[in-house]
Structure 1
Amino acid sequence: MSTKPSAHPSANQGVNLLELKGVHTHIGAYHILHGVDLAVPRGQLTMLLGRNGAGKTTTLRTIMGLWQASQGSLHFDGRDISKMHTPHIAGLDIAYVPENMGIFSDLSVKENMLLAARKASRVAQIDEQRLQWIFGLFPAVQKFWNHPAGKLSGGQKQMLAVSRAIVEPRKLLIIDEPSKGLAPVMINNMIDAFAQLKASGVTILLVEQNINFAKRLGDTVAVMDDGRVVHAGSMAELAEDEALQRSLLGLAL
């Protein structure tokens, strides 16, 4: 199956599409991120791993401007986004799928997709070629097109959430734990879909707890602990080094 290109060509063709340098984030009285350095190479899939509470979700929310960095810098495609607000960051063609998926349960699958398509006021205005491409990635989205989103299974809701994120071309796709709570067959479907997304040219940053998911998809990896990135490098190298895995994650892949 052919994939439709998902990323726009950029005038700023640096190696890294997204860079965080020395990022600190406070939430109320709590100091959550303690100088995060993170690089997301253009056109690759970067896994963000770490134990629960390591700061992974806070990092994603800081990138999206949902929480403001109190120190450090965030650059996307060569542009400083450190002080930008969430709608402006999303407007740079960054899509974020939070852990709770963010779909509207009372609306149909079709209505959820239409809401995400900023350039369309009715379904007929959504790029038909792109919609068919999404249906190929996630057949359940087409099958349940007119059904209430709240009636979908967990895996189908996750597929809808990702479909909403890619209904328009994006430069960067940020997803928090896409395999959480999914049955193995659904996880395999999701892995296949992300592999196709990556092949289409979109840059992806994934937080994931499923190690098999990370091992099969990741190009590069960053491991967080206590609000910092404590390891960064090749996913393949980490997957082959059991001692390093146990040291960083307390387990072997």
Structure 2
Amino acid sequence: MNANLLELKGVQTHIGAYHILHGVNLAVPRGQLTMLLGRNGAGKTTTLRTIMGLWKASQGSVTLNGQDITQAATPQIAGLGVAYVPETMGIFADLTVKENMLLAARAARTAQQIDEKRLQWIFSLFPAVEKFWNHPAGKLSGGQKQMLAVSRAIVEPRELLIVDEPSKGLAPAIINNMIDAFAQLKASGVTILLVEQNINFAKRLGDTVAVMDNGIVVHAGSMKQLADDEELQHSLLGLAL
């Protein structure tokens, strides 16, 4: 079995007339949490969307569990056990929290058919999801919506969870809750790829890290190595962690 669950090799992505990714090489080790860092506009979100098939790579390959998914449709990729939480969260504001969860639980036709043990585990990670179960999702706070977005992504077992900036705009207490939840998810065997701007979040959670700049990965290694090397941080990110 390949040590890497997900691999990108020489991935290039064009969006209309714009050439965004210029040959991304990225490895996401199985069972670990990989941080994808970089300045705004470096190509991080485009990389995630290319992995999910929302934008197609014009060159290079994306493999999951050794299977080439470069040209696969997004529903096919999701069917292989991949969940994606975009920066916008994608919450259905007019539906209740329960209805949002039910939409993601493809094996269930009613809320009663959602795996009860898994649901209770999600409630333990994100108590607000249980508290506001019958409330319209649009009425939730930003932090509660983010909790719902992640909960929805893991309502069924996933091999790979991809999340774009989960801590953006959240209060410190909610960020700590989110860090604890991702740590538990990783401990349960889920492989996680996170784009994140909150450096404390990255330092506390990351096993491995890839840093992007101008559409390519310019550094890859252990998160601890980057966190301990202030000179390297300055050269890659223009700041100290």
Same fold (TM > 0.5): yes
Following superposition of structure 1 onto structure 2, how do residues 7-156 of structure 1 map, counting pairs within 5 Å? 13-156=1-144
Q: Which residue identity does 1:113 align to in structure 2? A: M
What letter is aligned with 1:160? Answer: L
Superposed displacement of residue 90, structure 1? 0.7
Q: Structure 1: 5+ residue runs without aligned partners?
A: 1-12
Q: How many residues align?
A: 241
* Other-structure match for 2:204: 216
User: Which amino acid in structure 2 is aligned with residue 244 of structure 1?
Assistant: L
Question: RMSD of the alignment, in Å?
Answer: 0.4
Q: Would you identify which runs of 4 or more consecutive aligned residues in structure 1 move more than 4 Å?
A: none
Normalised to the residue count of structure 2, the TM-score between the two structures is 1.00
Instruction: Name the residue aligned to 1:10.
Output: none
- The separation in 2 between residues aligned to 1:118 and 1:34, in whole angstroms, is 36
The aligned runs of 1:190-209 (5 Å cut-off) are: 190-209=178-197
Could you tell me which runs of 5 or more consecutive residues in structure 2 were left unpaired when the two chains were aligned: none
Report the 3-state secondary structure (helix = DSSP H, G, I; strand = E; otherwise coil) of the residue aligned with 2:162. strand
Q: Identity across aligned pairs (percent)? A: 83
Query: What is the alpha-carbon distance in structure 2 between the residues aligned to residue 123 and residue 109 of structure 1?
Result: 11
Using the TM superposition, give the Cα deviation of residue 69 of structure 1 relative to its aligned residue in structure 2, in angstroms. Answer: 0.1
Describe the superposition over 1:17-42 as per-residue Cα deviations: whole angstroms up to 9, x where unpaired.
Answer: 00000000000000000000000000
Give 1:239 deviation, angstroms.
0.2
Q: Are residues 1:172 and 2:144 paired?
A: no
Alpha-carbon deviation of 1:52?
0.1
Q: How far is the alpha carbon of 1:14 from its aligned partner?
A: 1.0
Q: Which residue of 2 aligns with 1:4?
A: none
Structure 2 CA distance for aligned equivalents of residues 14 and 34 of structure 1:
25
Match of 2:214 in 1: 226
